[in-house]
Amino acid sequence: MTAAGTITFAFSIGELADLAGVTVRTLHHYDRVGLLRPGHRNAAGYRCYTGPDADRLAQILGYRELGFALDEIRSILDDPDSGAQEHLHRQRRLLTERIDRLRRIVSAIDTTLEARTMQTTGLSPAEKLAVFGDFDPDDYAEEAEQRWGTTDAYQQSAARTKSYTKQDWQTITAEGSAIRNALAQALAAGLPATSVEAMDAAEQARQHITRWFYDCPLEMHRNLGDMYVADERFTATYEKVAAGLAAYVREAIHANADRAAT
């Protein structure tokens, strides 16, 4: 507020809706249920939202993204013993937990798709849940056999993976996640896909496939890189880690193959 006690910032319902990326109907609903009510009237008598109202909306949307019901959010925000900083810490903790869970799922999906030739994990349902979470890699077994069942790579991968233990799959998943994170970090740092860091990470990815699934020469790895962009499932797993990562990984794989050829 200013020295005269007037509101410094005031938003109409349409302005706040545009600012927050929600609909006017949503704000009307929040008003009706007592979750977010306009805290000011302008000179013309119209109700409008203040800066603190906008802050409360941001908190509401954060909790909604985390899956909280509106009545739960209202109880949390109206708790007199809970301040704005505490809300931020709570939301950060919950979001971090969700991010960690999603990363584990992405890692499991990507490991399965990169293997692409394996039949089944050989794990019990409880072991698969412990390693892969809600994602079941065996769901891809039938498709893999139909597409690549006659290839040497499929036979080699099937022979290896059928004896893998829960610990083996945990190691595979952790290694794959570390490689993807290295590529994502290179992308975030603005390093080109032809940089040593990106090419080295791409080579680690190739060696990871060779070590755990099937022999993956450079030209085969090029084909995998192309598939990361052409197959929406591959693309989606990388894009969940970082926007533009699928194309970046493809370029790094090609650059690594070119480097080895020189």
Using the predicted structure, report yes or no on whether residue 88 has a pLDDT greater than 90. Answer: no
Here the tokens at position 178 are: 């570390």
Environment class of residue 219 by beta-carbon count within 10 Å: exposed (0-12), middle (13-18) or buried (19+)?
exposed
Q: What is the dihedral of CA 46, 51, 56, 61, to 10 degrees?
A: 90
Q: How many CB atoms lie within 10 A of CB 73?
A: 22
Q: How many CA atoms lie within 13 A of 142 on its CB side?
A: 2
Judge whether 118 and 144 are in contact, CB under 8 Å.
Answer: yes
pLDDT at 114: 55
Beta bridge partners of 47: 41
What Rg value do the Cα atoms of the chain yield, rounded? 25
pLDDT tens-digit series, residues 53-79: 888 898 888 888 878 889 888 888 888
Distance CA 65, CA 156 (A): 43
Longest dimension (CA), the chain: 81
Using the predicted structure, report yes or no on whether residue 17 has a pLDDT greater than 80. Answer: yes
Judge whether 158 and 150 are in contact, CB under 8 Å.
Answer: no
Judge whether 57 and 36 are in contact, CB under 8 Å.
Answer: yes
Mean residue pLDDT across the chain: 78
**Domains in the chain, CATH or no CATH each:** 10-82 (1.10.1660.10), 99-261 (1.10.490.50)
pLDDT tens-digit series, residues 156-182: 877 887 788 878 888 988 898 899 999
